[in-house]
Structure 1
């Protein structure tokens, strides 16, 4: 087996690349390095600099490296940016996935893991979100992830590709310092950024119907998320692998924003 990991030099992607390599899987990475860093990758992992929008490059990489499975993480992922630049998000997230699936189908590859997002659910009024909860994304980022799932499943049915879509919640942590999230967009790095500047962390919204008034979220450590991607990839190598799976990845235990800030501080 040889797995292509798109976006594999990014924060989550590099953790996936390391987890799969440590488990003995053969991997290579495709990344345009707009948010990824080559230094995150373990030595020996081939890195191809390029975009999933480049169909000719994809076909060449899949053929030259005899790729037999794909783990697709490459995507733009900032909610606010997606609201300001929706066409860019649809072009890169959905268009890039379309181009990749076309190359995968042409190459006869039969295993595909799609790194989706719990953003497909929007803001459901339920205590526990399951895979059967209605999908109603509230921003273009979530819309592109849901459209991506539809596309992955349709391509899987049409071309006999076994697929897994992973919907995960709020990602935090790092397995090693060099793998840390360098962007200040998610709550944990935002809190650390404020603290390192001797400023108090800011809380947006303190009137939620929760014990301390702040939003409760499910946080998953990025190393656990990487292991989930590895498990999904290995599930697709099983003798009975077929059809499609959709799986939520989380701890199933909520933590409020105020509780999280207290732990970090």
Structure 2
């Protein structure tokens, strides 16, 4: 579906809420490290977690430690690296093994980025990404390089908004949502997932398969989501309204 209505304010009643981060809770930036979580956003997520009795988690392509640092060691569950890492509120954490091939991939991406103004390399625990938001003319070369590196290493090629990533295979945001839904606090509730990118589509589909729904953030496009919000500002406004609805 491409043309979707906005979600109702009471959508989160008896739900488990799963949130993408970049492009959903915060605006995309040219440099991933430029993103900040302000006091209002931190308070909003804390209020949602309280109103939902802890049934809130973030599912991101960023590493778990990156999300944790931005929120100041939060009490909610986090899945990072596209489902390859999961950190639970009680301190438990699981993470896939980092292959040695990633060191070579980072080196080759760095050579390319150094020679291509505006391209950035983001090194992650289980992947490496080329960001070309500041150099859109480099898209074809970035994709060609990442494709070769993924093929040579046997790792997974992950597309995204103005970025291309080579990462460990075996998980995605859909498997992350399914794993988090097994937690006692989440089990038996309807999953609702909010996300903006094509990397979020597996989680949209997983939420629907488990009796819940996805909410697309951004411009209309083909999606497994059932609802849509226009952007980050509308998302934050809706989350505030949904929090108030839960308190009634």
User: Is this a same-fold pair by TM over 0.5?
Assistant: no
Q: Which has the higher helix share?
A: 1
TM-score, with structure 2 as normaliser? 0.34
Larger RCO of the pair (alpha carbons < 8 Å, separation 6+): 2
TM-score, with structure 1 as normaliser? 0.32
